[in-house]
Amino acid sequence: MRPALALAAACALLSGCLLPDRFDATLEVGAERATLDYRGELVAMSAYADAAKLTPAEDEKAVREALDAVAADVRKDGGTVDYAPLGKGRAKAAVTWTQPLPPVGEKTTFADLVAIRRQADGSLEIVTPALKDRDRAQLAKMGLGDAAGRLCVKTAGTVVESNAQIKPETAGGCWGWSITVLKDAPVRMVVRF
C-alpha cells in the first residue's frame, strides 16, 4: 500500500488525523456529563508523514491546522485547548473538555480519543478506538509503534465491567490503563448510575 493511501486509511480512525502520544489523560464520568483532561503530545498525521519534506514553518502550519479543527469543537463546548508545535508533526497539548452524555443508542466522542455510548439498559460504555491490524502495521512502519500514555477513568457510578489494569482502592478512585496505542486492546468499561 502506498504511504498516502495507508495514511488516509489510518486517518479515518483518528479524528483530525491526530494520534495521542506520551500522554496522561483523566476522564471523569458523571451521570449527566463527562470531562476529559488530556496532557501530552498529539501527532498530526499529515504533517508527520511529510516531515522530511516540510520546512519548519510548513510543519508548524500543518500541525496548527490539524489541531485547530479539534480545538474548534472543544471550544464550542466551552472547553480549553492550549498547544505548542514541537516539530516533525508533533505538538504538546493540554485539553480540558466537558460534554453532556448521550441518550440511549447514541455516543459522545472526545475527538475519537475516547467514546461514551449509552446502552439500551441505560449504562454507559466507555471505549477507545480499535485499530485494524493493517492500520497498526502501517503506523508502526511510519515509526509510531511506540505511541503510548496513561488513561485514568474516575466515576461515582458502579463499574459493572472493565478491562482496567489498575483498579481503585476507594470509591471514586482511578481505574487506570497504561496504553501502547498501537499494541494494546481498546479500553472498555461499563458504568451504571
Render pLDDT for 41-69 as a digit per residue (tens, 0 to 9).
999 988 898 888 999 999 999 999 999 98
- Return the C-alpha cell found at 88: 516533525
Between CA 85 and CA 12, with CA 26 as vertex, the angle to 5 degrees is 60
Render pLDDT for 85-133 as a digit per residue (tens, 0 to 9).
999 999 999 999 999 999 999 999 998 789 999 999 999 999 998 888 8
Name the pTM for this structure: 0.86
Domains of the chain, by residue range, sit at 3-192
Q: Which residues, at least 6 apart from 123, have a Cβ–Cβ distance to it below 8 Å?
A: 160, 190, 191, 192
Quote the CA–CA distance of 127 and 112 in Å, as a whole number.
10
